[in-house]
A and B are shown apart, each in its own frame.
Chain A
Amino acid sequence: MSELPQQLANGLILGAMYGLIAIGYTMVYGIVQLINFAHGEIFMVGGFGALSVYLALPTGTSLALALPVMLLGGIAVSVLVGIAAERFAYRPLRGAPRLAPLITAIGLSIALQQAIWKWYPDGKQARVFPQFKGRALDILGATVQRGDLFVLIAAPLCMIALGFFVARTRSGRAMQATAQDPDTAKLMGINTDRIIVLAFAIGAAFAGVAAVAYGLRTGEVQFRMGFIMGLKAFTAAVLGGIGNIYGAMLGGVVLGIAEALATAYVEDIPGMQQFGGGAWKDVWAFVLLILVLLLRPQGLLGERVADRA
């Protein structure tokens, strides 16, 4: 049995990653009512983008110096793939039955996984991601690895920037208008195609940040990593109320903490010993999702469907 502060810290770190990825699901859904199930792979390629940048730097470059460029590289790869997915996979299917983009997304996911598997050097195995050296830190009674500080700082900064963008800028206002009533947004002179691209790009950028966080935490990136992370982040987006950006982050954190607590404490509940530990954590995550959907179908911060335009 571990201590509570430690479990909360673990959950928060994991949850912040889920939240960053969940933003991509929620923004795209909020604007085009499409679940981009290839988003997990957009996250995954960002990890390889960041790793490639690191490998291209002179050997011996300190990670602290390399990190900003790696971050840019990861974001750039995710954003490029995200924009290309919108342009070539989803845009031609606008107005098609909902099943069509869903199948396309699955195809795109497989294609991206296989592309890394086949063409990334040694992509068939997990590739080692650089790690911060040095002792772990002690924060409020929890041991936090140095690499994990990255997501604890990056996630709130990203949320503040996004909140400012949506509420205070012209493009952000146009994005709100497009989400609430796309045809009428066009009547205002808003180029809604551009706004859709922007939503994909922002979501992909956040996934790129999350991928760097993932690499720093786990010490590796691999072609399959987008699947379970994508699924969890999608769960977080639904949990928080799909379409709501703050809900996505809240859903991520709630999910991360719930998983950490379940992993640590379920086995202490009399009669539940066999359901404890890491092996069951995904199950508990989805149990939580089902509970929320039963008790509060619109998600934690979601609007009721009737309020939607």
Chain B
Amino acid sequence: MTALLEVEDLRVAYGKIEAVKGISFTVESGQVVTLIGTNGAGKTTTLRTLSGLLKPSSGKITFDGKPLTGVAAHKIVALGLAHSPEGRHLFPRLTIEENLQLGAFLRKDKDGIEKDIQRVYELFPILGERRKQASGTLSGGEQQMLAMGRALMSRPKLLMLDEPSMGLSPIMMKKIMETIRELREQGTTILLVEQNAQAALTLADHAHVMEIGRIALSGTGQHLLHDESVRKAYLGED
């Protein structure tokens, strides 16, 4: 079986500074794969390149059998790749419902869209109660739920989440992680970038540790969870 996403020797630079220095990994259908690593390791850069917002300097990205390199960002979501960006990036002056509708911008099936909006409201009831509220006025946790919901609205084959737990209270973080688990059980494939290594590794089928632009270590989530160097560097043990 070929992987849903294949990244081969990907390099990305900002001007002269190379932020991603030749990484390779795959994501199989139905898996949760996580990228963890310190600040500035290149995780966000990797996701932004996958969704076409940044152009790689070299390397190959294959998604669902098609090459992604050189495809314009606005065409990539149509192929089934959705990206919930770091820092949420909602459309602040639009309402919750309008944000969700934009997540389904390319879909034409009105009834299906309405059903999926209801599904997001079931997943996150608070969003349903506030559907007419401008998203810029939501709390951080609510914004994160909406960002995830919006990414789901395109019915992606692969959902990329960049630090969904950033800045959230422990309770909110738990809720978000539970949701990711739920989504996986429903068969959504997820590429998860997280600072919270403990939570991410617990969830992940596969995990990669990034260090200054390279993948330093790979393995199953469980494996890395028990790896001594990972425990020292990312799980705060000594």
Contacts and interface: CB of A to CB of B under 8 A. Distances in A.
B136 A307 contact: yes
A121 B197 CA distance: 73
Interface in B72-101: 72-75, 77-78, 82-83, 85, 89-94, 98, 101
A186 B78 CA distance: 11
A104 interface: no
Interface residues of B, number: 27
B3 interface: no
Contacts, number: 71
A143 interface: no
Contacts of B83: 187
B107 to A, nearest CB: 9
Nearest to A174: B105
A184 B106 contact: no
Given A187-B53, A187-B73, A190-B74, A176 B105 contact: no
Nearest to B103: A188
B184 to A, nearest CB: 22
A180 B93 contact: yes
Contacts of A188: 74, 77, 102-103, 105-106, 150, 154
Contacts of B188: none
A189 interface: yes
B84 to A, nearest CB: 9
Contacts of B82: 187
B189 to A, nearest CB: 17
Contacts of A268: none
A177 B91 contact: yes
B74 to A, nearest CB: 5
B101 A189 contact: no
Interface string B46-86: 00000111000000000000000000111101100011010
B53 A180 contact: no
* Chain A interface, >50% SS class: helix
Contacts of A181: 89-92
A191 B105 CA distance: 11
Contacts of A170: 105
Given A180-B91, A186-B74, A173 B85 contact: no
Nearest to B150: A188
B117 to A, nearest CB: 15
A189 B53 contact: no
A32 B210 CA distance: 35
A309 interface: yes
A183 B75 CA distance: 13
Contacts of B72: 186, 191
A245 to B, nearest CB: 13
A52 interface: no
Nearest to B135: A180
Nearest to A191: B74
Given A173-B98, A174-B105, A187 B91 contact: no
B77 A187 contact: yes
B106 A187 contact: no
A186 B89 contact: no
Interface string B215-233: 0000000000000000000
Interface of B: 51-53, 72-75, 77-78, 82-83, 85, 89-94, 98, 101-103, 105-106, 136, 150, 154
Given A186-B72, A187-B73, 6 more contacts: A176-B93, A181-B89, A184-B91, A187-B82, A188-B154, A192-B74
27 contacts: A170-B105, A173-B101, A174-B105, A176-B91, A180-B91, A180-B94, A181-B89, A181-B90, A181-B91, A181-B92, A184-B85, A184-B89, A185-B91, A186-B72, A187-B51, A187-B53, A187-B82, A189-B75, A189-B77, A189-B106, A189-B154, A190-B74, A192-B74, A307-B92, A307-B136, A309-B89, A309-B92
> 5 nearest interchain CB pairs?
A186-B73, A189-B106, A184-B89, A189-B77, A188-B105
Interface of A: 170, 173-174, 176-177, 180-181, 183-192, 303, 307, 309
